[in-house]
Structure 1
Amino acid sequence: MAMRFDLTVESGVFLALIGPSGAGKSTLLNLIAGFEAPEAGSIRLFGQEVIGLPPARRPVTTVFQDNNLFDHLNCGTNVRLGLLPASINSRAAQIAATAALAQVGLAGFDTRPVRDLSGGQRQRVAIARALVRAPTCPLLLLDEPFAALGPAQRRDMLDLIEGLRQTHGLTVILVNHHPDEARHAAQFCAFLDAGRIVALDETTKLLARSDVPGLTAYLGDT
């Protein structure tokens, strides 16, 4: 299926992407992050054309459902791995990792082995790793990172993300399969279907619209 996206997001907002499986939500994030390359078009982040730039050179951090943590390392080391290799063992990196862990509710976890953490705690470490990159990577992409958590934990994590967005001026794009959670957390919401962005609006307005093709059926299935 050919996919074609046309999306403009203002800096500093929280945008949720909803839509049926296979609609292109994760593909859109992968294009922004640089994990996939478009056949044509342009991708501009904060005014900079990024097509051709590898993921590590884009102002983006991505958190996935599987969190990509290293079980044999402790929390602090996992967080520092979000920084440039030349700086991960510096005193400044250690201070930044400690501060990031505290901001996600894991104060004192620097030396705690990741393998001993719960699912929710692991995702907090992954978010802390993204947070240490915030000064140079103010765009946070979340590809269903909380899907394996229960409803209450997912709501807590969304509240955490919203607090960090406000504190650090982050722009957040979240792939989500729970419209009620999109309504709770995101200022704006885009409905994707068949590789297209069908509609984008303020979240409460979009979820109440009856004129968007496919949206009513999608909401009825979720």
Structure 2
Amino acid sequence: LTIDPREREKVFAYLQYIKVLYRSQQLCAHLPCDMAQSYLLDELDKLPKNEEISAIFASSNLRMRLDGQQYRNALYEKLLNVIRDEFHNKPDGRVIVFVRTREFACRLSRAFDSDQVLSGLNVRTKMITGRGRAKDSRCLLLTHDKKLKEREDQNILRERLMNMALEVIDRQSSTWFKQEIAKNVAQINEERIKSKALIMEQERQNANKIYTLRCRFVLLLPEQNKMPTKF
């Protein structure tokens, strides 16, 4: 498939716009809409524009300022209230908010830093990468994604079961621990011997099998005799 270079450039430019619009939609679903609008306008100004795209933007209301009711986001406000309550009750505490992208983390950090209540509590934000499951910590998942919530619930259940198993092991004596190790090693060795014996038996059976090889040979005669001789 051959594409004209000018058409290829146009397709690439449109894909860049689709990418920015998609990320803006994701920000709008989780943050106040004015932050998503700010990101959208910042990124659109960086992209190349032809006459067609410029005309579309000129006729749109992308740059129209939003009022207070338009850019409110219930999910963000719930998260903000959780953080405010946490630092109000524990001024020396720590709250970790997990997000998927660096851009989302930057926007969220700016939003927290601009909040007057958090500023009054002397709260500062820092971006890091990783996952937190510190002991005695609380983990709250705020998301619109049902599948993500289901996976997180499963992970929490697995961690609880793992911690319960570790606590049971910690309560046992060192003698019990050594006996369990010896018992499992013996079981592994037994299974290994059985597996090896099965392989050897299969090889022995294959070696004792007698095969009958039947071949068919066709002799082609000269042109004057059209009938081949079979053996």
TM-score tier (shorter):
under 0.3
Name whichever structure is richer in strand by fraction.
Answer: 1
Structure whose CA Rg is larger = 2
Name whichever structure is richer in helix by fraction.
Answer: 2
Q: State TM-score, norm by structure 2.
A: 0.22
Q: Could you say which structure has the greater relative contact order, defined with CA pairs below 8 angstroms and 6 or more residues apart?
A: 1
Q: State TM-score, norm by structure 1.
A: 0.23
